[in-house]
Amino acid sequence: MDQKGILIVVSGFAGTGKGTIMKRLLQKYADNYALSVSMTTRAPRPGEQEGVEYFFTDREAFEKKIAEGGLIEYASYCGNYYGTPREYVKSQMEAGKDVILEIEVQGALQVKEKYPETVLMFVVPPSARTLYERIRGRGTETDEVISARMHRAVEECEYIPGYDYLLVNDDLETCVEQMHHIISSEKMSVARNVAFIEEISSELQEL
């Protein structure tokens, strides 16, 4: 059942710990997965590095990339562009890696529409209260930002029915294993193994 890599989208409310989950998943299963790095026009936050968290660029360059068809999805969020450069995703999938896009809801549904075989996962906290406390607990955000984030989470809920799986990030290691198992299971779906089924069927007829 050899096959090329598959495309995976991971979204979730800000403050749900997606970044930490991704880091741990990539660390544990470095041979299986590649994390796509998004391009953005937002300014780097302290500590963020070019090509690690994002490729940082300006509006003009971003819009040129859109026009060239060089992004597999893009969205505007809080006044900035975010998008996924096509080239890296393509080359990693061809090399047999499952490529994970950590993107927000609008982009996620764009990807699903263009590539219906993409697996979409949405990460939620164990409860709404946990989310509120995590966002507030960072201590780096103003009340206005906290309120905007919570409001955004409510909006994002509307998009969850378009996803395939819901992951509850209660315990990091459990969540990482669940994500790995979902992806492994998806690779065993009948739809992804049509060629193998045809092969075994024609071999059976020859015996």
List residues bridging with 71 in a β-sheet.
Answer: 85
To its own copies, the closest distance from the beta carbon of 77 in angstroms equals 18
When asked if residue 141 is in the footprint of its own copies (CB under 8 A), the reply is no
Residues between 181 and 200 with contacts to its own copies, criterion CB under 8 A: 181-182, 184-186, 188-190, 193-194, 196-197, 200
Query: Cβ distance 142 to 150 under 8 Å?
Result: no
To its own copies, the closest distance from the beta carbon of 58 in angstroms equals 34
111 Cβ contact partners less than 8 Å away, ≥ 6 residues apart: 7, 9, 72, 73, 84, 101, 103, 118, 120
25-33, 49-57, 104-112, 146-154 -> range binding its own copies (CB under 8 A): 146-154
When asked if residue 124 is in the footprint of its own copies (CB under 8 A), the reply is yes
Rounded-to-integer distance, Cα 139 and Cα 143, Å = 10
Q: What is the largest CA-CA distance in the chain?
A: 71
- 3-state SS, residue 190: helix
Query: Cβ distance 116 to 6 under 8 Å?
Result: no
When asked if residue 49 is in the footprint of its own copies (CB under 8 A), the reply is no
Q: Which positions lie near its own copies, rule CB under 8 A?
A: 1, 122, 124, 127-129, 131-132, 150, 153-154, 157, 160-161, 163-168, 178, 181-182, 184-186, 188-190, 193-194, 196-197, 200-201, 203-207
